[in-house]
Amino acid sequence: MLNGSQENRFDFDDAQSAAERGLQVVSARFLDSEPFNWDLFEGFDNMRVLTYSVSAPMIVQMLKKYSFKHFECVFGYEGGLGRFADIIAFQQFLVNQLRETAFKIEDDRQRIILERIHAGEAEFYVVKDNIAHSKLYLLESIEPQRRRVIVGSANFSERAFGGKQPETLIVFDDDDNAWDHYSREYDAVKETAADRIDLPVDVQSAEITFTDTPIMQDTGLTVFQPPQVEELTIQQVIHKVEELTIPVERIVSPQVTRDRGKYILTPTVKAEIKKMRWRKGEHDNEETRPTNLTIHQESRHVSLSGEHISLEVDEEGLRRSAQAIVEYFNNYELGFVGDVPRLQRDYFTFMSWLYISPFICDLRTQAVVTGGNIFHYPSFAVIYGKSNCGKTSLVDTLITSMFGHPHTVQKDSFTRSTLRGIQHNYKRFPVVFDDITRQRFNLHGLDIVKDENLPSVQEHPCFVLSMNAEPQSFQDEVVKRCLMIYTNTSLPTHQYALADRLYASVEDIRNRLTTDLYRKYLAVVMDKLDATPLPRDILQVSSETICELLDQYSGSQLPEWCRLVSWGEYADSRYERPTRRLDALLAPENYRKSIGEGEHGWSIQADSVVVWGKADLFGRTSLKGEIPDFLYDDTSSVGDTFVLYRKQTEDFLDRKITPPGFKWPWNN
């Protein structure tokens, strides 16, 4: 590795022979083929391997099976190395894999292998770039002089060489031209794109940390240029196809004819499609344009649909946006009926989550790696309640404050087959679905909500769902995985003049909004995430930042709704309604001595509370779906009769649950 004033560069310009030349075509002649045999590696003194599949057991096997005087292996990586963190993490993983494999060898072979490694007879390198995509094996013997080049699809792994998957190897024996060509390729990767791995002497010590990786041990300057070209995944292709299908289907389906099992596309239909394409291009705007957001936190690089977004802000635009946001939230006091302060507070909680949502993909990844609570970083937000409560207007206004225009995905795209593709395409840009029905959510959304596995892409968005639904519409397994915002506060539909004034006010506010407030927010939050990479309370971090900015730039005293939000406060409030309903259900007047007596009621059985009834006291559907999982004894519950743990329920309601007239002995 290079030290001092020398640069250890990571960009593709360095490895000229391996990267700049790109795809190479080698002319060869076919002689014959035969099944793989391990004798292919027998009888050689030296072996060099270039592979991008890591199998530490395979390495150990080779070192045990063959007496190479010198063994060398360069490890590439199948995934994309798009960030510094990817490279460091891969290097850390690889070193620990080699260490763990050596540690599992319990006899004297462990000592022999480690001695060979530390004596320099076996050397390992790990890539620091994306260019090592070859599978290459170079074998050489001195006496007799022999050279063998092996190339092909098989990685250096037990699976590939064990006949468990179809692979092909091409062998060049004593071919000087092949040897010279592939040796140059190997050396180019090793010398310009790889770091040497030095295994710890004591393999039984604790796992190495990222600070012990080869790249971090290098004292020289490191420069990394992430790859710019990305291939579409299968999920992305599916989504893009279905996204294009939706408008075409509306034109084609009513006019297409069917004759003996064949669909006939008439010239008239074709003409309509052509006009539709022309209209789409003619009226294309920011609201319909495909959108994605990329953030590289280390470099502070932010791009929206490929366009660089500067974090330098205009002070006047910042003040205008801060004032507009405060005015927007204060507008709820001008005509909405119900608990308006609660509405403002809940909507500010949503704003705090939405603003930080582009970073949630990173936080969820860190939580999985470090064993953190992934439920503290929800990737779904559900705003639901009565119609006409301003849900759609709120989301559109906040998205406009973030990116300059609202962006809503057609609800027809809310399907199992497209949600994963959308997840890949939008990167960090929040995906908004408006007016999703409960049926569509249950049919298509539950799987992705409950899936706690990380997507295959590093940057993926959060989802915002706006729904007209009752509180009992969602089970606890959904509630604990999503940010749930419920409101029964609404704008009276019969007051047309008031509604028109508010709509005009909202339109004026959006016209005054700039993205300066959010760009300032991004810069501040990235500084905070640098100091605390995995904050336990994202709502606190986000709301604190928003309050600071609004306090500094709005020019007015912060209203009551604009104050710090904590995850604990939110978590308590999301169970507020089921708490009130359960408390009412367990009222003394509903107590029954016998289980099942009457249409509904409750009784005590040992350490349990038994509740029954097809409907609650208010005539609504059963409360069972709203009850938190930790209260519910599903092994004893059957049908409309469900059993609650008595002690946990008492803690949840913050009161004792006793039959009417019961007195504790110490109160006598």
**Res 366 pLDDT > 80:** yes
**For residues 4 and 536, which has the higher predicted lDDT (pLDDT)?**
536
- The pLDDT of 343-347, averaged and rounded, is 94
* The pair of three-digit structure tokens given for residue 328, joined into one six-digit string: 């927007």
Contact yes or no for 292/426 (Cβ under 8 A) = yes
Q: What pLDDT is stored for residue 400 in this prediction? A: 95
- The pLDDT of 441-455, averaged and rounded, is 86
Q: What pLDDT is stored for residue 623 in this prediction? A: 67
Residue 638 bridge partners (DSSP): 641
- The pLDDT of 491-510, averaged and rounded, is 82
CA distance 355 to 321: 14
**For residues 490 and 521, which has the higher predicted lDDT (pLDDT)?**
521
Residue 250, phi then psi, degrees to nearest 5: -65, -30
pLDDT digits (tens, 9 = 90+) for 48-63: 988 765 556 677 777 7
**Res 540 pLDDT > 90:** yes
- The pLDDT of 604-608, averaged and rounded, is 90
CA distance 668 to 230: 76
Q: What is the largest CA-CA distance in the chain?
A: 103
Cβ neighbours, 10 Å, residue 143: 6
* The pair of three-digit structure tokens given for residue 629, joined into one six-digit string: 């999982």
pLDDT band per the 50, 70, 90 thresholds, residue 349? very high
Any idea what DSSP says for residue 638? E
Percent of the chain's residues with pLDDT above 70: 69
pLDDT digits (tens, 9 = 90+) for 508-520: 999 999 999 999 9
pLDDT band per the 50, 70, 90 thresholds, residue 2? very low
pLDDT digits (tens, 9 = 90+) for 167-177: 788 999 999 99
Any idea what DSSP says for residue 537? -
pLDDT digits (tens, 9 = 90+) for 164-204: 566 788 999 999 999 999 998 888 888 765 667 666 545 45
Is 493 exposed, middle or buried (CB count within 10 Å of its CB: 0-12, 13-18, 19+)? exposed
Q: What pLDDT is stored for residue 24 in this prediction? A: 75
**Res 17 pLDDT > 50:** no
pLDDT band per the 50, 70, 90 thresholds, residue 141? very high
The answer, yes or no, to whether the previous bond of 659 is cis (omega within 30 of 0) is no
pLDDT band per the 50, 70, 90 thresholds, residue 284? very low
**For residues 279 and 197, which has the higher predicted lDDT (pLDDT)?**
197
Out of 112-121, 301-310, 362-371, least confident range: 112-121
CA distance 436 to 468: 8
Helix axes 646-653, 576-585, angle to 10 degrees: 120
* The pair of three-digit structure tokens given for residue 194, joined into one six-digit string: 């790889």
Cβ neighbours, 10 Å, residue 25: 5
| Three-class SS state of 582 | helix
pLDDT digits (tens, 9 = 90+) for 558-601: 999 999 999 988 988 877 777 888 888 898 999 998 888 888 88
Q: What pLDDT is stored for residue 562 in this prediction? A: 96
Q: What pLDDT is stored for residue 577 in this prediction? A: 73
Q: What pLDDT is stored for residue 377 in this prediction? A: 96
**Res 112 pLDDT > 70:** no
Q: What pLDDT is stored for residue 475 in this prediction? A: 77
**Res 76 pLDDT > 90:** no
**For residues 551 and 197, which has the higher predicted lDDT (pLDDT)?**
551
CA distance 355 to 359: 9
Which is nearest to 488 in space by CA: 471, 501, 475?
Answer: 471
**Res 219 pLDDT > 70:** no
Q: What pLDDT is stored for residue 287 in this prediction? A: 40
Helix axes 267-282, 234-252, angle to 10 degrees: 120
Adjacency order of strands within the sheet including 632-638: 601-605, 608-612, 641-645, 632-638
Give whole-number Cα distances, 303 to 192, 293, 310, 402, 487, in Å: 30, 6, 8, 13, 34
Beta carbons within 8 Å of 367's beta carbon, 6+ residues apart: 373, 374, 376, 377, 534
| Three-class SS state of 194 | strand
Q: What pLDDT is stored for residue 27 in this prediction? A: 85
Out of 23-27, 481-485, 494-498, least confident range: 494-498
Q: What pLDDT is stored for residue 313 in this prediction? A: 94
CA distance 337 to 317: 33
CA distance 509 to 324: 6
Beta carbons within 8 Å of 557's beta carbon, 6+ residues apart: none
pLDDT digits (tens, 9 = 90+) for 374-432: 999 999 999 998 788 889 999 999 999 999 988 888 888 888 778 887 888 899 999 99
pLDDT digits (tens, 9 = 90+) for 404-420: 988 888 888 888 778 88
Q: What pLDDT is stored for residue 442 in this prediction? A: 87
Contact yes or no for 131/192 (Cβ under 8 A) = no
Q: Are strands 122-127 and 70-75 parallel, antiparallel or unpaired?
A: parallel
pLDDT band per the 50, 70, 90 thresholds, residue 280? very low
Element (H, E) at 137: strand 136-141
Out of 223-237, 345-359, 525-539, least confident range: 223-237
**For residues 249 and 227, which has the higher predicted lDDT (pLDDT)?**
249
pLDDT band per the 50, 70, 90 thresholds, residue 286? very low
Which is nearest to 464 in space by CA: 426, 422, 434?
Answer: 434
CA distance 401 to 328: 11
pLDDT band per the 50, 70, 90 thresholds, residue 546? very high
Q: What pLDDT is stored for residue 370 in this prediction? A: 86
Helix axes 340-356, 315-330, angle to 10 degrees: 140
CA atoms within 13 A on the CB side of 10: 23
Q: What pLDDT is stored for residue 447 in this prediction? A: 86
Beta carbons within 8 Å of 509's beta carbon, 6+ residues apart: 324, 327, 328, 331, 397
Q: Are strands 301-304 and 307-309 parallel, antiparallel or unpaired?
A: antiparallel
Would you give the end-to-end CA distance of the chain in angstroms? Answer: 82
Contact yes or no for 313/519 (Cβ under 8 A) = yes
- The pLDDT of 299-312, averaged and rounded, is 89
Residue 413, phi then psi, degrees to nearest 5: -80, -5
| Three-class SS state of 522 | helix
Any idea what DSSP says for residue 613? -
Q: Which of 222-236, 254-268, 473-487, 524-538 has the highest average model confidence (pLDDT)?
A: 524-538
CA distance 338 to 336: 7
CA distance 463 to 445: 10
CA distance 639 to 610: 12
Contact yes or no for 449/440 (Cβ under 8 A) = no
Beta carbons within 8 Å of 404's beta carbon, 6+ residues apart: 286, 514, 515
Q: What pLDDT is stored for residue 172 in this prediction? A: 94
**Res 157 pLDDT > 60:** yes
pLDDT band per the 50, 70, 90 thresholds, residue 4? very low
Average pLDDT, the chain: 78
CA distance 620 to 476: 17
- The pLDDT of 76-104, averaged and rounded, is 60
- The pLDDT of 443-448, averaged and rounded, is 88
- The helices-and-strands tally (H runs, E runs) of the chain is 22, 22
Residue 153, phi then psi, degrees to nearest 5: -90, -15
Residue 207 bridge partners (DSSP): none
Residue ranges in 5-131 assigned as alpha helix (H): 56-65, 84-104, 109-118
